[in-house]
Amino acid sequence: MSVVIVGGHDRMHCQYKDICKEFGCKAKVFTEKKCPLERLMGNPDLIVLITNPVSHGMAAIARKEAANKGITLVQSHCGSGNALRNILESSLG
Question: Are the C-beta atoms of 49 and 74 separated by less than 8 Å?
Answer: yes
Give tens-digit pLDDT for 1-21.
999 999 999 999 999 999 999
> How many residues make up the chain in this entry?
93
* pLDDT reported for residue 52: 87
* pLDDT reported for residue 92: 81
Going from N- to C-terminal start, the domains of the chain cover 1-48+79-93
Give tens-digit pLDDT for 63-73.
999 999 999 99
* pLDDT reported for residue 42: 92
SS (H, E, C) 5-27: EEECCHHHHHHHHHHHHHCCCEE
Three-class secondary structure of residue 47 per DSSP: strand
Q: Which residues contact 31 (CB under 8 A, 6 or more apart)?
A: 7, 8, 9, 10, 12, 13, 53
Rg from Cα positions in the chain: 12
